[in-house]
Structure 1
Amino acid sequence: MPPAPADPLGRWITIDGDSGIVRYVGPVAGSSGSWLGVEWKDSGRGKHSGAKDGKQYFTCKSTNPKCASFIRSVDRIDWGQSLIEAARSRYIVNMTEISAHLPQTIDGRRGKIEAVGFEKVATEQSDLSSLEVLGLDSLKVYGVDDVAETRALLKNVRTLLLARNFFTEWRQIQDVLLALPNVDELDISANHFQSPMFADAESSDLNVSTLRVDTSPGLTWSDVCGIASRLHAQSLSFGWSGLSLLQSASLDLLEELSLEYNHISDILPLAHLPRLRSLNLRGNVEFVKFPAIQPSMFPCLESLNLGYTGVSSWSSIDNIAQLPVRTLYLGYTPLGESNSSRAMAIGRLANITKLDGTLISAEERTEMERYYLILSLQGEGFPRLQELIAKHGAPRKPAVIEAKIKSRLVSVTIQVFRGHVVSETTKSLLKSMLIRQLNPIVTRLAKSRDFQLFVNTSADDTWVPLDSDTRSLSFYGVENDGAVIRAVL
């Protein structure tokens, strides 16, 4: 194990399989010597919450009264390793040792082939100064010890991956970037940062265009915006972090923002971002309605991902129609579950060119807009009607419409195989339905997303896998009533 650092306060440690952060260094009344006060990651691992015999030595983030304890600074504490030590351990090989294990020949189709060049490849990969991508995830990195050495050996690094390490403070990240000034893409996800992020921290002139801080529940939106602002980031990802509340922030350079699988319900604080082109809200099930648009809101937004959200009203899509959005994802939302959802979206949004990952051809737009006009006869709340009637003509009479719709539908039996238990139901589906549009229907029936789909369109026992999400049912021969689709869990 590496020796204890001169200043262990705030450092992440592991000992005997347990992990935690050092919150106190010093004496404890009634005991000799110096002690470490540790708040454990497992909040029930300790004996107290930073207090002993009525005296509060340190304060913990956890509210569990058994989240902390005092330990001696012993040899079995793992303090992690420096960035340069981690780089050497991952990339530099012992050529004497590796040469003994390199194959002399390789089995080819026509016999043995002499192996040439393995040593050269291994040697080139061991040259740290040639690395442009440095992946050090999960290597217990705590920061930089020798700035000059680190800069000299890793001078060409452009992409730096530091997820799941021992970082706890902004100062440690700042030191890394000062040592590696050419880094343009940085991933510091799933470390041990805690709010407030910038207590007593100085600002430096650093530039990182792409920043990922996913799986960081100890940080607030303000903390992450502070990091992005200090790094002049143009792309930011802050997903899987339990985020529920956004506030306005000064992120004038930000062009891409991903907030996947949080608990966000209101995005109005983002509406003023002047350069935001891409917004990913996938998995925020609490997000149910896109806000009404006022002048200057989301002025550059071109790509919007609402997949797996709770959006359930077409009025949200009508609000989006006022924005320059070209790419939209609605899959696995209440809106995206109906057979007519693609027509409803394309009919409302004149400018989108890609929906749920599929480009909208001129032919499909014409077909979907005409279908949208047919659907409009069923009720109110259908914008763009006059525009589309001028383009395609008035929708046909109800009797003709019904016949047209029926000609597009087929009656399909959907079977769900769960072990030896089989359940089945019959549904009318559009022949043009894509397999990815069928998946949510089967998901509800199977109560699972872990299944494989097969189809049988003949009298024999021939089952064809539905293996392409972008193909339609008709592509797989589902043209007439009686086809059977089987979901195997």
Structure 2
Amino acid sequence: MMTSSSLESPFQVGQRIRSSDADGFKGTVRYVGPVAGQQGTWIGIEWDDLERGKHDGEAGGVKYFHVEQPGAGSLVRSHKIQAGITLVQALRARYKPSEEAERTEDSKEMYIMSVRNRPMPVVLVGLDKIQQEQGRLERLQQAALIDAGVDSAGQPGEIGATAKNIEELDLTGNLLHSWTVIGQIVSELPKLRVLNLSRNRLTASLDNLATSSTAPVFSGLTTLVLNNSGITWASVTALGPSLSSIRELHLCGNGIQDFGTGPIENLPSLELLDLEDNKIRRWEDVLKLSALRSLTSLFLSGNELTDVRYLQASEAHGAPSGNLPFQGLQCLLLGRNQLSEWASIDSLDRFPSLQEVRLTDNPLTDARGGTAARYMLIARIGGLTCLNGSNISARERRDSEVRYVRHVIAQQLEGKEDSEHPRFEALKAKYGLVMEDLTGGPATQKSLADELCSLSLTCVAPGAGERAPIVKKLPASTTVARLRVFCEKLFRVKADRQRLFFTTEDSPHPTSIDSDEDTLGSLGFVSSATILIDEVDAASIRQEQAAAQADHERRLQQQLKQVELFTSLQKAEVEQEKRTVAGRRVP
């Protein structure tokens, strides 16, 4: 590998740059120097976007530099790339354009097209006043410099003298990589409370932050956003002593897998921690975050968690109240993980203060194959007030819990239920429901009218045309198979081509009805529901049948091959035994 040099070049190794074309691709300088057989100085770049790269830092059989991402490197001339600008330069370009630029903008009229396809000028009332106010940088309180090419703080004191009143600063997608530079920016903005550094390559080490004289101090910040920045949890731990006032910390998309052994307690004021779209797999690692005593919201969607566990009731009863994990946690987002067991749902019920949960796009809750309907989740997690972004009313909770109890009773009577239901007995006692409520035995106190379900039947099949919903009262013992026959008579949609869904007043999301053996009672319909009748077209049915037949034949062929292999092995063993016996008889 050749030694890099800075011959006649303004670029240095480690510097962040962007391409000079309109695409503005970002990258890091990895080499500055000559290239064999070429004249002048070349710049070796590792691009953030792999599609921009051409090789691994090797050209003509010579290795000029290393890259962290294979295929992300290329060698370019200096005029193909450009260095960044200072924060003040970006502020002036964004909020205080030159007179020539203002004249150019004024010459551009905004318009909309009329019904006759003619342009109609649009006048933005108050635009001049807004631009004039924004142009006064010393009064600016919110600044958004997204993809502005900022890579430095400029001369000491320059930021403070120009825009010292900024309270919210968005630096998403810039060229920052030095924590020293970030520290200088923050130190010159005494009123800064919200800082967004997403999509900056913040991979510099912070192991010695606590003892460094140039360490950034974020004592005034309340919100720090570091999404897709490449920051590690070790760096977050090193930042901890400077984040004493942070209430929100966003760390999405950084490939974080665990939380190491560092002191998590260094974030005493943290209330919201966003760790979505990382690579966290073990709940044991998540439990370490319970050391954050002020934490009320934890976002873990888009990770690789397979389970959630909390203290059993007996363990929680014996533990000191101040030592319970996640004692103040109110919001937990777990969408897009790998949760597949009901035990994880039951564990959520044991969190002392949990009120809001997101569970979408998990195997257990997948609408195509999961078994966890909304009413089941509500019933099994007693403290919830919001599920998957939708508030839970008092009526929906009551209906969900009654429906859940009736469902479990029906499953038990049919011998199908084998999972645990920690809240079942308490809910059954709460609503006074017993086994005989579904069987019509002597213990029931209800009349026949009480056992009828009021169904609003709505046909949404394409070939049925527009028809008003039909309201019918059916016994709770009516099976889905009988319901299909009933719907066929009403809407002329053949039973074997129906696809049924149901909704309730407080749960408007359609839920598929799949098993013909289920009854209205076992489905948990308490008093009323809406049944949607859709029709599967014949071609789709034939495709499904053909696919099922092909799968059956494939499995049959595999079984036949296994039988043939087993038979041939048996024959070989018999022949071997015969030869062995014959060999023993030879004198």
What TM bracket, shorter-length normalisation?
0.7 to 0.9
Residue 292 of structure 1 corresponds to: 310
Q: 2:289 aligns with which of 257, 263, 270?
A: 270
Q: 1:427 aligns with which of 485, 496, 500?
A: 500
Q: Secondary structure, in 3 states, of the residue corresponding to 1:397?
A: helix
Q: Secondary structure, in 3 states, of the residue corresponding to 2:291?
A: coil
- Structure 1's 427 and 406: CA in aligned 2 closer, same or farther, altered over 3 A? farther
Residue 319 of structure 1 corresponds to: 347
RMSD, matched Cα: 4.4
- Looking at structure 2, the residues matched to 273 and 374 of structure 1 have their Cα atoms a distance apart, in angstroms, of 40
- Structure 1's 40 and 112: CA in aligned 2 closer, same or farther, altered over 3 A? closer
- Looking at structure 2, the residues matched to 238 and 262 of structure 1 have their Cα atoms a distance apart, in angstroms, of 8
Amino acid in the other structure paired with 1:434: S
Displacement of 1:154: 1.4
Displacement of 1:434: 3.1
Residue 217 of structure 2 corresponds to: 205
- Looking at structure 1, the residues matched to 55 and 152 of structure 2 have their Cα atoms a distance apart, in angstroms, of 30
User: After superposition, what is the alpha-carbon deviation per residue over 1:388-412, rounded to whole angstroms, capped at 9, x for unaligned?
Assistant: 2332113353335999898266777
Gaps of 5+ in 1: 418-423, 445-476
Report whether the alignment pairs 1:282 with 2:301: yes
| Preserved contact between residue 455 and residue 529 of structure 2 (Cα < 8 Å) | no
Amino acid in the other structure paired with 1:388: L
- Structure 1's 162 and 427: CA in aligned 2 closer, same or farther, altered over 3 A? same
Displacement of 1:300: 1.4
* TM-score normalised by structure 1 residue count: 0.74
- Looking at structure 1, the residues matched to 72 and 30 of structure 2 have their Cα atoms a distance apart, in angstroms, of 12
| Preserved contact between residue 505 and residue 529 of structure 2 (Cα < 8 Å) | no
Displacement of 1:416: 9.4
- Looking at structure 1, the residues matched to 396 and 449 of structure 2 have their Cα atoms a distance apart, in angstroms, of 20
- Structure 1's 374 and 124: CA in aligned 2 closer, same or farther, altered over 3 A? same
User: After superposition, what is the alpha-carbon deviation per residue over 1:75-117, rounded to whole angstroms, capped at 9, x for unaligned?
Assistant: 5531021111111111113456168538799999xx9999875
Amino acid in the other structure paired with 2:343: S
Q: 2:135 aligns with which of 112, 121, 126?
A: 126
Displacement of 1:243: 3.1
* TM-score normalised by structure 2 residue count: 0.63
Residue 383 of structure 1 corresponds to: 422
After TM superposition, the structure 1 = structure 2 runs for residues 225-374 of structure 1, keeping only pairs within 5 Å, are: 225-227=237-239, 230-232=242-244, 233-249=246-262, 250=264, 251-266=267-282, 267-284=286-303, 286-293=304-311, 295=319, 296-323=324-351, 324-336=353-365, 337=367, 341-374=373-406
Report whether the alignment pairs 1:97 with 2:115: no
Displacement of 1:136: 0.4
Report whether the alignment pairs 1:78 with 2:101: no
- Looking at structure 2, the residues matched to 132 and 7 of structure 1 have their Cα atoms a distance apart, in angstroms, of 34
Displacement of 1:119: 2.9
Displacement of 1:375: 2.3
Amino acid in the other structure paired with 1:268: L
| Preserved contact between residue 308 and residue 331 of structure 1 (Cα < 8 Å) | yes
Amino acid in the other structure paired with 1:347: A
User: After superposition, what is the alpha-carbon deviation per residue over 1:60-87, rounded to whole angstroms, capped at 9, x for unaligned?
Assistant: 433x3x6546666x45531021111111
Q: 2:68 aligns with which of 21, 43, 61?
A: 61
| Preserved contact between residue 412 and residue 485 of structure 1 (Cα < 8 Å) | no
- Looking at structure 2, the residues matched to 104 and 252 of structure 1 have their Cα atoms a distance apart, in angstroms, of 50
| Preserved contact between residue 31 and residue 43 of structure 2 (Cα < 8 Å) | yes
Residue 399 of structure 1 corresponds to: 439
- Structure 1's 183 and 415: CA in aligned 2 closer, same or farther, altered over 3 A? farther
| Preserved contact between residue 156 and residue 182 of structure 1 (Cα < 8 Å) | yes
- Structure 1's 416 and 314: CA in aligned 2 closer, same or farther, altered over 3 A? farther
| Preserved contact between residue 309 and residue 332 of structure 1 (Cα < 8 Å) | yes
Amino acid in the other structure paired with 1:369: E
User: After superposition, what is the alpha-carbon deviation per residue over 1:266-306, rounded to whole angstroms, capped at 9, x for unaligned?
Assistant: 2233233222110112222x222112336521121111112
| Preserved contact between residue 313 and residue 335 of structure 1 (Cα < 8 Å) | yes
| Preserved contact between residue 289 and residue 313 of structure 1 (Cα < 8 Å) | yes
User: After superposition, what is the alpha-carbon deviation per residue over 1:137-174, rounded to whole angstroms, capped at 9, x for unaligned?
Assistant: 11111121023221122111111111111112222221
Q: Secondary structure, in 3 states, of the residue corresponding to 1:194?
A: coil
Report whether the alignment pairs 1:179 with 2:195: no
The sequence identity of aligned pairs, in percent, is 27
- Structure 1's 212 and 425: CA in aligned 2 closer, same or farther, altered over 3 A? farther
Displacement of 1:253: 2.8
- Looking at structure 1, the residues matched to 452 and 372 of structure 2 have their Cα atoms a distance apart, in angstroms, of 14
Gaps of 5+ in 2: 1-7, 115-119, 412-416, 464-496, 515-527, 538-587
- Looking at structure 2, the residues matched to 105 and 71 of structure 1 have their Cα atoms a distance apart, in angstroms, of 42
- Looking at structure 2, the residues matched to 48 and 316 of structure 1 have their Cα atoms a distance apart, in angstroms, of 45
- Structure 1's 387 and 60: CA in aligned 2 closer, same or farther, altered over 3 A? same
- Looking at structure 2, the residues matched to 214 and 120 of structure 1 have their Cα atoms a distance apart, in angstroms, of 34
Displacement of 1:425: 4.9
After TM superposition, the structure 1 = structure 2 runs for residues 444-463 of structure 1, keeping only pairs within 5 Å, are: none
Which one has the bigger helix percentage?
2
Q: 1:154 aligns with which of 137, 151, 163?
A: 163
> Aligned pairs, how many?
436
Displacement of 1:320: 1.5
| Preserved contact between residue 56 and residue 74 of structure 2 (Cα < 8 Å) | yes
- Looking at structure 1, the residues matched to 451 and 340 of structure 2 have their Cα atoms a distance apart, in angstroms, of 24
Q: Secondary structure, in 3 states, of the residue corresponding to 1:142?
A: strand
User: After superposition, what is the alpha-carbon deviation per residue over 1:13-63, rounded to whole angstroms, capped at 9, x for unaligned?
Assistant: 134556421245578899998765543435683665489998x8765433x
- Looking at structure 1, the residues matched to 55 and 113 of structure 2 have their Cα atoms a distance apart, in angstroms, of 60
- Looking at structure 1, the residues matched to 206 and 66 of structure 2 have their Cα atoms a distance apart, in angstroms, of 16
- Structure 1's 115 and 278: CA in aligned 2 closer, same or farther, altered over 3 A? closer
- Looking at structure 1, the residues matched to 49 and 105 of structure 2 have their Cα atoms a distance apart, in angstroms, of 44
- Looking at structure 1, the residues matched to 91 and 15 of structure 2 have their Cα atoms a distance apart, in angstroms, of 20
- Looking at structure 1, the residues matched to 345 and 193 of structure 2 have their Cα atoms a distance apart, in angstroms, of 36
Amino acid in the other structure paired with 1:279: L
Q: Secondary structure, in 3 states, of the residue corresponding to 2:195?
A: strand
Displacement of 1:227: 4.0
- Looking at structure 1, the residues matched to 171 and 126 of structure 2 have their Cα atoms a distance apart, in angstroms, of 31
- Looking at structure 2, the residues matched to 104 and 221 of structure 1 have their Cα atoms a distance apart, in angstroms, of 47
Q: Which one has a bigger Cα radius of gyration?
A: 2
| Preserved contact between residue 274 and residue 298 of structure 1 (Cα < 8 Å) | yes
Amino acid in the other structure paired with 2:144: G
| Preserved contact between residue 310 and residue 350 of structure 2 (Cα < 8 Å) | no
- Structure 1's 99 and 243: CA in aligned 2 closer, same or farther, altered over 3 A? closer
